[in-house]
Chains A and B, each alone.
Chain A
Amino acid sequence: MSRAEAVRDAQRAFVGLLEQPLVTSSTNPPLYRLVLRNLQAVTEFARRPGYRIQRIGRAVRLIRVPVAGTVSLPPRPADAPGRRLLALICCLAACCEEVSGTVTLQRLSDMVRDLCATPGVHVTAYDPDDRAQRRQLRAAAEYLDQIGVLRRRTSDDRMLDDWIEGGTGPGAGYEVDRDPLLLMTSADVLALALNPEPADPDTLNAARALRQLRDLLELPAVLYAGRDPEDADLLRRQRGFRATDLAQMTGGTVEARTEGLLLVLTDDERVPATVVDWPRAKAADWVALLMADIAGRDGTRHQDGTVTLTSDQVDEVADDLLRWRGDYMNKLQKTVPGTVRADAEAKLSELGLLTVTGDGGWVLSPVVGRYRDPDVTLTDPAEPAS
């Protein structure tokens, strides 16, 4: 393997960890192997933005140690778990600690119920006799399954359905993997997150470059507007350095424009996992694309590149789109008023391209300018939508 290929491999591994910070030999074998092969380089990459690579058994973890109690957090995905589910995930993981080997969902459910009833645990009681709560527990188990803490050992969905619907039977059989379980949280990071140290101006100053690097690594785009002037100035002056750093770590290029910077990741062979697959051949995706395009023209553009529309203007844009392309929309979008707008808002917010103000108005990020005049083609239903 040539040196360039080796570097490329390491970059792929690092970007893979940015997408899936906890990887085990069973959840994502190719990435796991890739990371292990390039562990040294990946550790070095991770050190630059102040991250940490931790490895236990057959699990590897990228830990984003918070700086001043914060991490560079991209917009919340539309399907992100709610707070109750997140709390249940924690409780379930705590119960998994007491299990060695295999366990059934029914048993886990009992353990969570007992755990929530333990004095000193400040979590709302979990009632396994309630179907909705059983569903949530299944969702929690699925989440842990995804990150590799639980591994489902039974494939009979009927058993699981029986448990969800009627509360009978064992549900599903799982195996607990301790390595990812231990890696799910780490004591120091949790302490930093739960009791953030007060933001000391000196610390913030010192961490400025670190946080800029993190923002560029993690966020869809980094805009000068909205940052404090000193920060924006530093970023503007050092964008060359940052671009070099990012190119070394990820193999991507930095797209610099008047309004801000963004990291563009491309790969000759495949699209890196962190790059969102947008627009896909789905009604919601292209509605978002077209709405952004039209709104970008119709709205008021400001000095900093943002475009604002009032709520009424947004409605007009949606109506216009519905009249123009209504034939191709799905039934819900055609029949339920407001669906087009809601779909577009959900999708664009998730991508970090849109902020919806309190009164329903839109603030489009300047980055929307990258997607103007999209080339939209039509396919018929016989062609598989991929």
Chain B
Amino acid sequence: MRPEQPDDKREPAAGPDLWQLAGLPGGLLEASYLTGRYAAQYRVIVDVLLEQQQHTLTGVSAAELPDLLRARLGAVGADPELIEEANFDLKERMGSLARWGVIHRFQDKALRDADFIRDLDRYQLTETAAQLHRAVTSFGQDLAAGAAATLAPGVLTANLTVLRDNVTTDPDKAAAAWSIIETTYQAMARAAAGWQSRLAGALAGTPTAEKIGTVQETLRRYVDMWGAGIDTHSEMITTHVNALTGLPDAVWRRIGVHNLGQNADEQAIVELTASYRRTLDTLRAWFDGPDCQARRLRRQMRDTIQPLLRGQRTLAAVGGHVSRRAELLALAGQLEAAPDDAAAWQLWCTATSLYSAVHLPGLAPAPAGNPSASSFWDAEPVLVEARLRKQGPKATTGTASRIADNREHRKAARDHNRRLQQEAERTEQAILARSGLLLSQWTDLSDPELDMLLRLLSTVAASRPDQAGVREVVTGDGRWYVRAEPAESGVPSAVVSVNGGRLVHPDVRLHITATAVNA
């Protein structure tokens, strides 16, 4: 979780640096002029010195240097008077360059009196510095070299053929062909490395319009000129290289001797001969076999084409805005500043439209007539079959029994019960209202009333009368207290007409009162 410490800030390890002791090449002192505070000044000076190398073998004198510098500044579009600036001290700059080994400083001979008071220094770039600066100035200029190298396979084939034909017979021609092969091969390798590094750079990280342009340009050049060349020439090159490698050392030695002259020392000849072999080996590595460098490069190029095309489409689709970072961060800030989660959600959805539409399930049957004239509450509802999972302990034996859906039944039963209850209440009220009447006076009995009366009478009949023949009884459910006075003697039985027929019973007088339980 801790951030990594930057390399330079680490504590130096105790003891000598084993890497330095291992004799590995480290810093290049000559390159110091490229990195310091006055790098621009140093570089202009070195530019001028390098340019003058073509014109003079004895270097540039201190007297002419300022004019050359002015000319150079003018040529690159800067103000020539910059060298008059306070922090440009030519003498000191040259001193530093000499200290870093970039220039040799020597003095002209003083021939006249006047010479002794003039600055007679002359400057010449050291060999390393000249090479370094040539490399530095060639940055970004390999376009032309790359273009020349695209023809490499063809040139190589032609010259290998010449070399093979003449290697044993005409050392002159062979040497000429060899020199072309050598330079062509080097240009080709350099160009290929350039392409690869440029592609690698362009494909790494976020694509930008500039990077995609680079990839496109590189690929176009490669595909146009070299892509097919590999296939056409590989086989021929391989054949020639194999034939040439098989030649005895004596043949190569002869060419070497021819190149270096009769007086060349043995060491140089051996080295040159070995370099021929090395070059042939490298050529084989480049063109021989399915996994050779040239084919590998082509495969890499091919793999690049797809991301390139995608990149182009990407650019077209997003209108040039390839990075979303700033937008995303702005959105993040606003989201977090939202007053609540709901507001944040709304902002997120508006800004990204990453949300899902919601539709309700179920198709309701269309109502008759004009559907939009009926309400949701009146139209037929959607058929919903919601399945409830029964929670709780499972039955201990057998398969779990299905629980029937009794909802409707329960509802019906409840309604039914309620109705019965109401009816029973009505009946009881009606029966109570007849309390104290003789049975013969009970008229217009409804079925439920008859039902209750029969229950009462049967309860009464089951009880024991007192001396006066009066029976007093509490019904079995404890709700009613019934007192039946016996019929007077000689009175005919009461005939109560009911829906189902007639009820004939001694004409008793029934007193019915609710018990405390009932109340």
A-side residues, CB < 8 A to B, are 15, 18-22, 54-57, 62-66, 69-71, 73-77, 80-84, 86-88, 90-91, 93-94, 97-98, 100, 106, 109-110, 114-115, 121-124, 128-129, 147, 167, 179, 181-182, 184-187, 189-190, 193-194, 217-221, 236, 239, 252-253, 255-259, 262-266, 271-279, 281-283, 285-286, 289, 296, 301, 305, 325, 327-331, 351-352, 366-383, 385
Contact = CB atoms under 8 A, between A and B. Distances in A.
B357 A374 contact: no
A253 to B, nearest CB: 8
B333 interface: yes
Interface string B376-404: 11110111111111111010000111111
B373 interface: yes
Contacts of B379: 257, 369-370
Nearest to A327: B392
A91 B324 CA distance: 11
Contact of B360 (A15, A189, A190, A221): A221
B312 to A, nearest CB: 11
B28 interface: no
B359 A276 contact: yes
A372 B383 CA distance: 9
A239 B322 CA distance: 42
Contacts of B176: none
Interface stretch (B108-116, B343-351, B489-497): B343-351
A289 B384 contact: yes
B376 A56 contact: no
A185 B391 contact: no
Contacts of B392: 327-328
B188 to A, nearest CB: 30
A180 B173 CA distance: 61
Contacts of B386: 279, 281, 285-286, 289, 374-377
A375 B356 contact: no
9 contacts: A84-B336, A87-B344, A91-B329, A167-B1, A185-B328, A185-B331, A327-B391, A375-B405, A385-B389
Contact of A21 (B204, B354, B388): B354
Nearest to B356: A19
Contact of B331 (A64, A109, A190, A262): A190
Nearest to B310: A57
Contact of B329 (A80, A121, A182): A121
A34 to B, nearest CB: 17
A185 B350 contact: no
B82 to A, nearest CB: 36
A149 to B, nearest CB: 11
B25 interface: no
Nearest to A19: B356
A310 to B, nearest CB: 20
Contacts, number: 325
Interface of B: 1, 3, 204-206, 310, 313-314, 317-319, 321-325, 327-338, 340-364, 371-379, 381-392, 394, 399-405, 407
A305 B376 contact: yes
A168 B336 CA distance: 28
Contacts of A18: 356-357
Given A21-B353, A330-B391, A376-B407, A123 B324 contact: no
B388 A74 contact: no
B328 A91 contact: yes
A381 B382 contact: no
A88 B1 CA distance: 18
Instruction: Give the one of B3, B359, B390, B399 with max A CB within 10 A.
Output: B359
A264 B363 contact: yes
Instruction: Give the one of B351, B385, B388 with max A CB within 10 A.
Output: B388
Given A90-B329, A382-B394, A259 B375 contact: yes
A258 B373 contact: yes
Instruction: Give the one of A121, A186, A266, A325 with max B CB within 10 A.
Output: A186
Contacts of B349: 71, 73
A364 B361 CA distance: 17
Given A181-B324, A378-B403, A83 B340 contact: yes
Contact of A218 (B322, B341, B357): B357
B329 A189 contact: no
A321 to B, nearest CB: 12
B352 to A, nearest CB: 6
Contacts of A379: 387-390, 402
Nearest to A252: B359
Instruction: Give the one of A83, A97, A273 with max B CB within 10 A.
Output: A83
Nearest to A143: B354
B421 to A, nearest CB: 19
Given A257-B371, A258-B373, A376 B381 contact: no
Contact of A63 (B3, B334, B353, B402): B353
A300 B389 CA distance: 31
A109 to B, nearest CB: 8
A193 to B, nearest CB: 4
Contacts of B384: 279, 289, 371, 374-375
Contacts of A351: 358, 360
Given A87-B336, A93-B324, A121-B329, A276 B360 contact: yes
B355 A21 contact: yes
Contacts of A259: 375-376
A74 B63 CA distance: 83
Contacts of A272: 359
A94 B375 contact: no
A58 B360 CA distance: 31
A18 B113 CA distance: 96
Contacts of B382: 370-371
A200 B407 CA distance: 55
Given A328-B388, A328-B390, A301 B329 contact: no
A129 B1 CA distance: 8
B280 to A, nearest CB: 39
B348 A86 contact: yes
A252 to B, nearest CB: 8
A380 B403 contact: yes
Contacts of A129: 1
B373 A274 contact: no
B335 A329 contact: no
B332 A91 contact: yes
Instruction: Give the one of B206, B348, B361, B375 with max A CB within 10 A.
Output: B361
Contact of B206 (A86, A91, A98): A98
A135 to B, nearest CB: 15
Contacts of B323: 97
Contacts of B353: 21, 62-65, 71, 189
A369 B377 contact: yes
B359 A83 contact: no
Nearest to B206: A97
A277 B361 contact: yes
Given A281-B388, A330-B391, A379-B387, A185 B351 contact: yes
B413 to A, nearest CB: 13
Given A110-B3, A257-B371, A378-B387, A94 B328 contact: yes
Nearest to A64: B353
Contact of B327 (A20, A147, A185, A219): A185
Nearest to B203: A100
Contacts of B394: 380-382
Nearest to B313: A56
Contact of A83 (B335, B362, B405): B335
Nearest to A285: B386
Contacts of B337: 122
A331 B391 CA distance: 8
A70 B472 CA distance: 85
Contacts of B204: 100
A265 B360 CA distance: 8
A254 B318 CA distance: 36
A10 to B, nearest CB: 17
B60 to A, nearest CB: 48
